[in-house]
Amino acid sequence: MIAAEDLVALVRNYNPNTNEALILAAYDYGRRMHDGQTRKSGEPYFTHPVAVAAILTEQQLDDATIVTALLHDTIEDTRSTYSEVTELFSEEIADLVDGVTKLTNLQLSSSETKQAENFRKLFMAMSKDLRVILVKLADRLHNMRTIRAMKPEKQIQKARETMDIYAPLAGRMGMQSMREELEDLAFRVLNPEGRSSIIRRFITLQKETGDVIHRITSDMRLELDKAGIEADVFGRAKKPYSIWRKMQEKKIGFSRLSDIYGFRIITRNETDAYATLGVIHQRWRAVPGRFKDYISQPKSNGYRSIHTTVSGRDGKRVEVQIRTRQMHEVAETGVAAHWSYKDGEPAVNPFAVDPAKWIAGLTEQFDGEEDHDAFLEAVKLEMYSDKVFCFTPKGDVVKLPKGATPLDYAYAIHTRIGSACVGAKVDGIRVPLWTRLKNGQSVEIITAEAQTPQATWLDIATTGKAKTAIRRALREANKERFVKLGRELARAAFEGHGKKATDKALEKAAGTLRMKDVDELLARLGSAEVTAREVVEAVYPNLAIEEDANIEIKRAVVGLEHGQGFERAACCQPLPGERIVGLAQRGRGVSVHAIDCGSLAIHEDETDRWLDLHWADGTHPPVYTVTLEMTIGNDAGVLGRICTLIGESKANISDMAFIDRKPDFFRIRVNVDLRDAEHLHLVISSLEAESNVASIERRRDPALENAPANGS
């Protein structure tokens, strides 16, 4: 435990005029109040408040906040009272301690109705004095650092709460280093295998490539010296959770991830910051679409920096952040920079946000909001960045995936509005339909009765719902032309196999592909929504088997020894088109895993079992089973439409089970037989477009590693 004099020394380092007597008195009082109490680890309980205070000295915070950290559990867990803390210290400190106590008692991970009310209380506490949440974040950080002493189920609960609430809140307040550490500590509890896998692959990468960070940092310093720019350059590998999240978002393996290193360049002034950007772009190639200027357009929490991503001759990408020293202080401590001290005086940082204005802007939209769902939606708008939440002109919230455009927004409102869209206004300004929407923007769609969907919209839309509606409208609008073209394509395809595209054959194909009639079949063929090959296969499946004889299942994987068999691992259910790796199984051939499978981490050291494999080129039969989990509305005909959509995607349902049944929704698990990864994407996109499908995800479970997957 840090001694009282050492804690004072930490404060004196940035605030020589600190009230040492006040901190020593609080230290002594807290130790006496917690005397005899122990933590789960067996340590004296007072080690925790002292550690929290030490964390806050890293933010260079004022004396009142440091004292609050030392006393933050006294009113809740000891015989201490609010009036006694007021008398011994001050009303300001007593209010801060009481505020932290109230936050501690909130169950932020409870049911949605209660969660909304607790969020409301949290923002109310923050609005009175933001230092309350600073102490609470430091409290949570130390608890996460020492979480191993808790029971496993308690660890998971606290880690999930940290990942869902406290880490995003720290990020929203601009405290990036604290957010990253909270995320990584929670990640260690929630997915230890995934985290270990990332770390091991990092070690392997360093052995293969050497010290990339030192090499690039030296190159950057050399280029800046040539240009006469005085600056500090720092490099680091990104945190395991940050890498894992990027792998999940992009659905790629570690080896395909390029920008896993980040570099910061701290300049003397703003002019040098922009000059540095020029030097970096002259020396390294800028990656299009990866440049952001937060100096000219700062974030609401005061964050200012230039972001760019560049790639070298070896194709490796690195992210570079450029900012001044004062901007860097705000980037590290966010809103907390308002209370920072330097040389015994409050640090006057022109970029630090006024906490009163920041919290007022954050809570303004919540005041008077009675509807729990709307309140939680508003909270998520402010705290989460994986989704985009936009407002209608009437103030309703529309949730869209990141990267969505006004066209996606229009179709999210209603298909009729999307189809009639001729333009959009974002925050009152006319913008192109391909504009990427951002959190909190107000969007107004301009429509015209004569408008119809255009073919170019398919390149603009990003959501499955919008794309499906656009294709349907285009098919209907050009049906006569597409039917004529489809008939010619069918004739040529059938004749190529020595067959004739008779009406009876086409009717059978339409039935097999679950289309209402031959005209729909031909229209879809003419619009390239189905291929001529699929139509022929629907009538003559044996013909397709003969044609695909070179990629029968036992020859689907390349890289096996002669006579060596394989089975798809049930934990990740890899598909053709995905990168794979083999694990030799004693007496059972080879187990084939996706390259990013979580269960591979435990085999990292068994290099003699690893095999470099890849899928055979060509068309694979639809026999590879993938498990999907869906939440669907409990309404008449919904399950039937789900089955129809899967069938229309040329996929077969091999098994289905109900996981959960509720009055308003079902949770189901469906096994679908597919050709490859592209086929999976088609199925998921079709299902996501169905309004009664609330969520859909591919099931991957490391615990199933030793069970063979179907379709292998």
Q: 3-state SS string over 429-470?
A: EEECCCCCCCCCCEEEEEECCCCCCCCCHHHHCCCHHHHHHH
Question: How does DSSP assign 634-694, residue by residue?
Answer: --TTHHHHHHHHHHHTT-EEEEEEEEEE-SSEEEEEEEEEESSHHHHHHHHHHHHTSTTEE
Largest CA distance in the chain: 98
Q: How far is CA 507 from CA 138, 492, 510, 519, in A?
A: 68, 17, 5, 9
Active site residue 77: yes
Q: Which residues contact 95 (CB under 8 A, 6 or more apart)?
A: 128, 129
Residue 15: both structure tokens together: 């605030």
Rounded to an integer, what distance in angstroms lies between the CA atom of residue 61 and that of residue 288?
A: 40
Q: Residue 322 in contact with residue 263, Cβ under 8 Å?
A: no
DSSP-based three-state secondary structure for 387: strand
Report strand pairing: 397-401 vs 421-426.
unpaired
* CA angle, residues 79, 82, 87, in degrees to nearest 5: 105
Count CB-CB contacts under 10 A for residue 378.
22
Active site residue 76: yes
Rounded to an integer, what distance in angstroms lies between the CA atom of residue 530 and that of residue 493?
A: 13
Helices (H), 17-165: 20-33, 47-57, 63-71, 74-77, 82-88, 91-104, 112-128, 131-145, 152-161
Q: Which residues contact 688 (CB under 8 A, 6 or more apart)?
A: 463, 464, 465, 696
Rounded to an integer, what distance in angstroms lies between the CA atom of residue 29 and that of residue 94?
A: 13
Q: Which of 630, 662, 666, 658 is nearest to 645 (CA)?
A: 630
Choice among 20, 58, 77, 223 that is catalytic: 77
Q: Which of 385, 382, 401, 179 is nearest to 300 (CA)?
A: 382
Residue 601: both structure tokens together: 């981490």
CA atoms within 13 A on the CB side of 397: 18
Q: Residue 170 in contact with residue 381, Cβ under 8 Å?
A: no
Q: Which of 633, 709, 639, 648 is nearest to 682 (CA)?
A: 648
Count CB-CB contacts under 10 A for residue 3.
10
Catalytically annotated residues: 76-77
